[in-house]
Amino acid sequence: MGKVGINYMSRRLLNPKLPVSPTWDGIRRIAMRLATEDHNNLTDYETYIGLLCTRASYGKYAQYTMAAMCMGRLGPDDMPDDGYSEQEYNYDLMAAAAYTNNLTIIEELGANPTTLGITAGAFGHPYLTAVIGGNTTALDLLLQKRHDCSHSRFERSVSENVDGVKRTILSSVALHGTPSMVRRCLPKWHPFHFTKWCKYRLEQLGNALTTPYVETFNMIMRERGTTPDADLSAEQLVGALDRACWHGWQEMAQHLISLGALVRGDGQPSRHYRPLKSASQGGFEGIVQMLLDHGAGMEGDEIGEAAKKGRWDVVRHSELHTVS
């Protein structure tokens, strides 16, 4: 999609005469419902169309062609021609309400468990859109509604059901949300979650270490401290450093180096991770300098990778370091 695609789809949706696929036509309905909550203001409708198109560019159909999104199924490799059921519409409306902090709609739809699940919707699931929108009240309300539905419909314990949702979304919240959001989503862990039968629970906790916030990282590490694998291995540390360098999280990269993450190519536990190369590709000059200051060595292809991405400041910086 990109900016061009988002702008094009926004303009197309604002023209009711132009056809779009059923799912994208649902954006028109959702935007109108949100605008109605705001007294049916036309400017609000146009604003919501733009917001929802932006969010949908990361959602269920982001990988399909523009033609498929406009006209429906074009071939076996394009978007399926779903009928976009009312259930799917309600789920996407819930996600849109969470994204825009519309608590009235969340209250209305929250009695239906299908709107509180974690599936692939047009905008992602509601908990994620609340986090990305920075809407703590919406997130709290969604979790409360999940608690209420669990209490009325499921025989398993309420806390286990809600905690199951929290464990599932924790890594996404850590990646996209603030430490305050993460604190709201910390589940309860039990010893059996970390037995050989439930190792994926430990993986869920480990995935949450991919975060731009040192506070969140330390929070997750405190949770990890109660498990059999309390400490990170050398490979896990350098892997976390590599991801921080890729995203451009300089404070996090500095913190990981202070914990002993290796920055040099030689002697690393896994050649799969190369923090200096990752920072060069992203054009993060400050991180590149920090890695070099901590002993990272040029291995020959960092300049080329930076040049491929058009990161000329990093290219010049790396050249000066190489010459000196």
Q: Is 242 helix (H, G, I), strand (E, B) or coil?
A: helix
Q: 63 is written with which tokens?
A: 């990988």
Given this model, what pLDDT does residue 61 score?
Answer: 67
Given this model, what pLDDT does residue 94 score?
Answer: 97
pLDDT tens digits for range 36-57: 987 766 678 999 999 999 998 8
Q: Quick one: angle between helices 234-247 and 275-282, nearest 10?
A: 10
126: buried, middle or exposed (CB in 10 Å: 19+, 13-18, 0-12)?
A: buried
Q: 285 is written with which tokens?
A: 């000059």
Annotation: CATH topology of 232-324: 1.25.40
Quote the pTM value: 0.82
Q: 256 is written with which tokens?
A: 């990981």
Given this model, what pLDDT does residue 204 score?
Answer: 80
Q: How far apart are CA 289 and CA 276, in angstroms?
A: 9
Given this model, what pLDDT does residue 153 score?
Answer: 52
pLDDT tens digits for range 128-170: 999 999 999 999 999 999 988 876 554 454 445 888 889 899 9
- Residue segments in the chain with a per-residue pLDDT below the cut of 50: 74-75, 80, 154-155, 157-159, 267, 312, 320, 323-324
Please, what's the largest Cα pairwise distance for the chain?
Answer: 69
Given this model, what pLDDT does residue 155 score?
Answer: 43
